[in-house]
Amino acid sequence: MPRTTIGPAGSLPDGSSNPISPAVRAGDFVYVSGLMPKGPDGKIIDGDISVQTTAVMKRLSDALKSAGCEFSDVVKCMVWLTDADDFKAFNTAYAPYFDGDPPARSAVRSDLLLPGARLELEAICYKPLTA
């Protein structure tokens, strides 16, 4: 199965390289790496879970477009939240991006995110190379 990297390798807040690809296509699937609420400058966007979720979903939209995908192609998301109390507000901000049936999803609480980040989200898309 052919494997194609989508987008340039990432960088860490200190400017050093981060050995991840933003997304990878493997056959009919596209795997989007974990996205945190970062602005164009690479810094974490300050704000509550709603603000940060909107920022992450914008970044996901950009990654999907780069891969030739749309939100309707997302079949699975994984989300990490730093505060379990944010779950309801996260769902409220997340849900409108998916018309009809939402993708499968897992969610866990984690303290392993960058300082200031309230969430991280990754996605798997199914987008056949040929229709």
pLDDT (tens place) for every residue of the chain, 131 residues total: 678 888 777 666 566 777 788 899 999 999 999 999 999 888 999 999 999 999 999 999 999 999 999 999 999 999 999 999 999 999 999 999 998 899 999 999 999 888 999 999 999 999 998 75
Q: pTM here?
A: 0.90
What dihedral angle (degrees, nearest 10) is formed by the CA atoms of 28, 106, 11, 21?
A: -10
Residue with tokens 């690809």: 21
Residue with tokens 């992450």: 56
Tell me the CATH class for 3-8+20-126: alpha beta
Q: How many CB atoms lie within 10 A of CB 78?
A: 15
- Residue 76 to residue 31: CA distance in whole angstroms: 10
CA distances (Å), origin 119, targets 16, 21, 56: 22, 19, 8
